[in-house]
A and B are shown apart, each in its own frame.
Chain A
């Protein structure tokens, strides 16, 4: 079986995979990182979003072999080592942006990339369009949009706008 070598959450792994093994299967089944979820089989739901070399990607839509040599960040690697939540995680909690929690890892990973890639600011419309690839069945998105807007100033070192 072919081998793939990649860094996940700062740790290097070499893993045997089948040619057809998906990145999400490698993460969940070979590395035991079950925070990345599978919610569909048509690349629609975004529960499996991780960062590959700093950019969000649906890990169900990438073969494990394609991730050879990359650095992958999953939801398990987002909080600080001492457990302190990332500002995006903290704002999701503060604004009740999760209910069942299943879409949450992918949603948080997409949201972090969305904020990172918009250093000049993010409108509500941009946030809603930026979440096009992530489905949530519980929240109606209202509080997710609020959480992302609240995380933007924290992540870009700006004082949070008064609510």
Chain B
């Protein structure tokens, strides 16, 4: 048998169906008698709804029903719930205004859903939706963070004064201020983390179905976590008990965070299917995605580092405004707090840190986690600030990093912002990355480029992130309204093949392969005899889904525990069959043996005996070989590493070309190096997109200017370089696989590497900071002004 277990770059089991057009994404599914929904959305950023006239739409050809927020309110349909509660400095809970599924008396952002038309065809539903007459009374809108907190600003929610959702902090301000007072040098930077639109290639879609005889509802949806949707929608919105609600997330075409949340359209189609007693399908047009998928990032921050005369970091002080948008999305409140401020130590031994965060409502689409979620914002801040420290103190940027790194022998390392890192070696990832990027030869490349009229620069980012979300008790104490366990049910079938039912969800990550590799290694079953099943609440016991690079660290660990149970039970059966003591049974490579003898039984012998026994210890042991385990991580995992970008700027146009990009990451144990490389490359591409191209732009009135793929710059093949990926491993010390996670590192480490490289390239122009995206216009203006 070829080596297919942990560490093998096996090709993916899922590829054949995707490559031949036989994937089954939500919009590919059609149910008998299916109707189509089209959602009429607000084109106003902020307005009162005086009236909605649906009479013409309701009688339009092909229309079956038209529903508004009033129809839902009449049936006591709940609002979309938020999954995390943050408390402000003064102990008061965050402002948590209602988030109706369909707007009732007010709209709060362009794209806010107001009514839904259900019709025989998609075209009929869309045509009729244009006949809905909405009488708005426009209200002044606040589109930016600064406008929203200005005195006298219009209020997005009347019960959130000053548009503040919460005013939160972490760290000891008195101690930090005292450290600043004694500092030899203070380096200050104001920066913006640009607002992004996730744009998974598959637009969101949902199909609701209702069986009038059994009372069973089924929702097919583009979700990263079907059980979470069942829990939230069933319990808080539609009041459907879980035994009557099945949620299926079939093949999902990318998520990047944006498909974690419970969205209005899921509730709309499920509820409407019950009303019209026929399946109802909704599929987002991309324009709808732009104005209804949760956006990402959008921070305004002031950061200050206190240094001593030798360049040691003494203290960090940060003040951030974080945009929540018009309503609180499912995970939104935790992103700029516990996924952000707790990361501000980064890879540095900064002894004291204080961070305050004001979360702000604006008349924009809700903002929530997008690949990296909080950690990219923390990393951009830190890695820009560290470069600014080098700039202001005229120190080498690599040297100042090395001086302040947490040393490799300091683990476990307790940071001043709550986290305890278990393992890492930041010198090692830095050394490997600088070597792979030929840091030593850079100045000669700069000279060569200059001869061609190009400004060449190199940028370094040394970062750390926290993922493997999450230790339940810890996040519970921080405001999470649910624990973040993961579940695995593993069935060894009578003839020895295996089906794994995992609560994680694959939407590009390749779980059907990597999770099967775990089974190969632990149970010795060939890869083609292992199937991974995910994404269906009717099949899987429970699960919290996939985000925060948790699938292996949490879901994989649950699998290890379940397989441990299978081996324990298998040993008992083997002992009985071979008439030996259980203590003498050994299990290796799929075979049970009696120590010190040549007696063996294969896993298949045992599984057959377990299901259809002639000879079985039936008095002591139940038949079957089917085990379920829950795993609750003891800590977060802490991947980290170094990214180096090399850029060339065209002096005449300001266009940046990333000519080389190297990432060396410590992601813990690697299960499939091919997939790790692909995950990092994809993350880096999104990071380069953030640094150079992508920006969700609202005008002052709250209209989304970058509302289509013609206006929002998605990275294309000719915008990106080859991305060299290396790994430099330390094992996670607290999960059984030693894995840390690789899904987000690319998007976290890369943006500051690119911006640092651009600033390096612009040395002659004495530039200290540039906000993202570093567009040609921005750079040309800097060069032209000199």
Contact = CB atoms under 8 A, between A and B. Distances in A.
B673 to A, nearest CB: 10
Contacts of B785: none
Contacts of A18: 123
Interface string B659-686: 0000000000000001101110111111
Nearest to B681: A140
Given A42-B708, A76-B20, A96-B674, A101 B200 contact: no
A132 B11 contact: no
Given A85-B16, A100-B202, A75 B685 contact: no
A38 B717 CA distance: 19
A94 interface: yes
B356 to A, nearest CB: 34
Interface in A109-154: 125, 127-129, 131-132, 134-145
B254 A100 contact: yes
B720 A74 contact: no
Contact of B11 (A78, A94, A140, A141): A94
A137 B681 contact: no
A160 interface: no
Interface stretch (B22-30, B537-545, B556-564): B22-30
Given A34-B28, A137-B201, A137-B254, A96 B508 contact: no
Contacts of B283: 38
Interface string B482-523: 000000000000000000000000011110000000000000
A37 B510 contact: no
A32 to B, nearest CB: 8
Contacts of B20: 35, 75-76, 78-79, 83, 85, 89
B22 A35 contact: yes
Contact of B21 (A44, A105, A139): A105
B256 interface: yes
A47 B201 contact: yes
A41 B202 contact: no
Given A34-B21, A41-B287, A132-B718, A142 B681 contact: yes
Contact of B19 (A45, A93, A142, A143): A93
Interface string B238-271: 0000000000000111101000000000000000
Interface in A41-67: 41-42, 44-45, 47
A98 interface: yes
A99 interface: yes
A104 B12 CA distance: 14
Interface in B720-760: 720, 722-723, 746
B19 to A, nearest CB: 4
B714 interface: yes
A92 B22 CA distance: 15
B199 interface: yes
A99 B508 contact: yes
Interface string B2-44: 0000000001101111111111110110000000000000000
A75 B256 contact: no
A103 B201 contact: yes
Contacts of A132: 716-718
A98 B253 contact: no
Nearest to A95: B674
Given A99-B510, A101-B508, A140 B16 contact: no
A23 interface: no
A124 to B, nearest CB: 8
B286 interface: yes
A94 B509 CA distance: 16
B309 interface: no
10 contacts: A37-B253, A38-B27, A47-B201, A74-B21, A79-B20, A93-B19, A96-B11, A100-B507, A131-B717, A136-B201
Interface of A: 18, 20, 28, 33-42, 44-45, 47, 74-76, 78-79, 83, 85, 89, 92-94, 96, 98-105, 108, 125, 127-129, 131-132, 134-145
Given A39-B203, A144-B717, 17 more contacts: A39-B253, A42-B286, A42-B709, A89-B19, A100-B251, A100-B508, A101-B17, A102-B254, A125-B718, A131-B717, A139-B685, A140-B720, A140-B723, A141-B685, A141-B716, A143-B678, A143-B681
Please provide the 9 A-B residue pairs with the shortest distance between their CB atoms, ordered closest to farther: A35-B21, A102-B253, A101-B18, A140-B685, A100-B508, A75-B21, A99-B508, A34-B28, A44-B709
